[in-house]
A and B are shown apart, each in its own frame.
Chain A
Amino acid sequence: MSDALVVNSVTKTFAGLTALGDVSLSLAPGEILGLMGPNGSGKSTLVNVISGVLTPDSGHVVVDGRDVTGKSSYTIARAGISRSFQTVRLFRALTVRDNIAAVVRGGGGLDRTVEGLMTRLRISHLADEKAGGLAYGLQRRVEIARALATDPRYLLLDEPAAGLNDVESDDLESIIRQVVDEFGCGVLIIDHDIRLITRLCHRLHVLSGGRTLAEGDPQIVRTDPEVVRAYLGDRAVAQLEKRNLADGTSS
């Protein structure tokens, strides 16, 4: 099975602190994988390792059968990985159109022109605006349009819904769905919005303290006691157990 983004036993430490310890996951084209975990659990570090911003201490990152571990961001981008950033990193002084045009690459015979992408992300009316001057939610959309312009096989979205209101968040959800349907790329999405994640993702991968806590069906965020504890603390676990008990007696 070479058609996948595979992360194999990746470890990354910063000055003795283990940011990632033996983390493995895989993402297939057309799949939406949610990456969750409390703050400091290593989510962004993982995305940075995959995209070549950071080099792992050990382990491998393989894109469609090609080992890209330790390669430059540029090489990894050319291998088919594209991304957005937790802290939006647009080319601020450039217009929205130029942000996309600067990285655009044709491929697959799809309508992946600059104008086409702006239409899909509903930002055409902002084409001549400077990206740095846009509202936060719109900047996030420009970032996704820009990430798609590189014709990626796999798209890494680092908290794309952070700072968005509910309407914008719903909008984002439909945009991501549409992107996966049309372009067939695999999406790895980090977010804290449980509502968005459970609706959107096919699978979940939960990190805590740099280690894999759980993975599987999106419902694990509600049902797995370890995940609930990592996110919500012991009291929530007690409540969960009470509820499970109640469910058990009633059924």
Chain B
Amino acid sequence: MNWSRRRLAESARTFLVLGLVFTIIAVVIETVLGRSDSRIATEFMLVTSMVIAIQVYVGNSGLVSFGHIAFFAIAAYVAGLAALPPERLASIAPDVPAWLANLEASLPVAVGLALVAVVVFAAFTGVPFARMKASVVSAATLALLVLVHSVINLWSGVTHGPLGLVNVPDLVNTWVVLATCLIITAAALLFRASPWGLRLQAVREDEVAAAALGIPIARTRFTGWMVSAVLMGLGGSVWALNAMAFAPAQFYFTDTFAMLSMLVIGGLGSVTGAVLGAAIVTVLSELLRNLEGGIVIGGLEIPELPGIVQMATAVLILLILIWRPGGLLGNDEAGGFRLSALRGRSKS
């Protein structure tokens, strides 16, 4: 098992850059922003951390997963149910087992339970998924998403059905959100630099060659799937305890495609790209959301434009796919630019 100092160094530099970005956002939230804006900002940080979690699997393996939102949903519901006080839970979800209903868990316990649930679920699905052909995996993950969404939507006695969980205690402050982002970013970068990450990237590049040179394809993919799922579970459970209310509709196609579009725009093979893509799509969405309701600019009345956010995201993806099919950053990390810049200069 060979750890490469070079790859670790690049990841460490990237972590410094991304960690600084997250820290600055957190400090701005605490010092400048009002209550509603800080809600948007913490939501952005947690969504970004989940895009990073998806990147761990999708970026390193080259396989598109639509199923990660299912991990998000499971983590959110388990954490929410664990944290809700029994008297509130009795009115919305009477069928929750007593041990869980009476738990009224603290933050670490709620997150811990969510992680256990996600690990079990990911291991259960990951074994067959890792053995599937690359062309089939994406369809299977899509089935996973639909399946989990249906269960959450219909199992009203536990999940409160389409109405979702409400009044989930707010156990999370800005610093917890920041810590979550830093842990997920560090783990994703560490995996990228690790021998397991490198082997998964090799399988992504050429499965036949990788197998012929002794890389265990299924085991390598399974490792990436599990790491990615655990990080998704961490982000999802903290998100749930920050959001305070959520419903099954939030864990379906819209969010799946929103997160995947962030990854595609930023660059599938890059953790920095995941953050950049999340930032671009979020800012674009917030700007255009005002247009959706229709506004008046200098006497010119712009009518309501429902769906303009999705439309703009779609156009952006098309442009990216035409001009930079690998996304804005491709496989490059913030911590790798110094090296490549030096190399480019020495060549000329």
Instruction: Give the B-binding residues of A (Cβ under 8 A).
Output: 51-53, 72-74, 76-78, 82-83, 85, 89-94, 97-99, 101-105, 114, 128, 146-147, 149-150
Contacts of B301 in A (CB 8 A): none
Contacts of A89 in B (CB 8 A): 206, 208-209
Whether A53 and B206, one on each chain, are in contact in the complex, defined by CB atoms closer than 8 angstroms, is: no
Whether A102 and B212, one on each chain, are in contact in the complex, defined by CB atoms closer than 8 angstroms, is: no
Contacts of B195 in A (CB 8 A): 101
CA A76 to CA B217, docked complex, whole Å: 14
**Given A128-B343, A150-B213; A102-B199 close (CB under 8 Å):** yes
A97 to chain B, nearest CB (A): 7
Whether A103 and B215, one on each chain, are in contact in the complex, defined by CB atoms closer than 8 angstroms, is: yes
**Given A72-B211, A74-B215, A128-B339; A102-B201 close (CB under 8 Å):** yes
Whether A83 and B199, one on each chain, are in contact in the complex, defined by CB atoms closer than 8 angstroms, is: no
- Number of residue pairs A-B, CB distance < 8 angstroms: 85
**Given A98-B198, A102-B198, A102-B202; A82-B4 close (CB under 8 Å):** no
A179 to chain B, nearest CB (A): 16
Contacts of A146 in B (CB 8 A): 213
CA A73 to CA B206, docked complex, whole Å: 13
Instruction: Give the A-binding residues of B (Cβ under 8 A).
Output: 2, 4, 6-7, 195, 198-199, 201-202, 204-206, 208-217, 269, 331, 339, 343
CA A78 to CA B204, docked complex, whole Å: 20
Contacts of B6 in A (CB 8 A): 97
What's the dominant secondary structure at chain A's contact region?
loop
A150 to chain B, nearest CB (A): 5
Whether A73 and B211, one on each chain, are in contact in the complex, defined by CB atoms closer than 8 angstroms, is: yes
- Please give me the residue from chain A that is nearest to B198 by CB atom: A102
Contacts of A147 in B (CB 8 A): 213
A70 to chain B, nearest CB (A): 14
Whether A93 and B213, one on each chain, are in contact in the complex, defined by CB atoms closer than 8 angstroms, is: no
CA A82 to CA B210, docked complex, whole Å: 11
B313 to chain A, nearest CB (A): 26
Whether B206 and A78, one on each chain, are in contact in the complex, defined by CB atoms closer than 8 angstroms, is: no
CA A168 to CA B178, docked complex, whole Å: 55
Closest 7 CB pairs of A and B: A77-B214, A91-B205, A73-B211, A102-B202, A89-B209, A103-B213, A73-B212
Whether A103 and B202, one on each chain, are in contact in the complex, defined by CB atoms closer than 8 angstroms, is: yes
**Given A101-B4, A101-B198, A102-B199; A94-B205 close (CB under 8 Å):** yes
**Given A93-B269, A101-B2; A77-B198 close (CB under 8 Å):** no
CA A76 to CA B206, docked complex, whole Å: 17
B286 to chain A, nearest CB (A): 33
Contacts of A92 in B (CB 8 A): 205-206
CA A76 to CA B208, docked complex, whole Å: 13
Whether A91 and B212, one on each chain, are in contact in the complex, defined by CB atoms closer than 8 angstroms, is: no
Whether B206 and A74, one on each chain, are in contact in the complex, defined by CB atoms closer than 8 angstroms, is: no
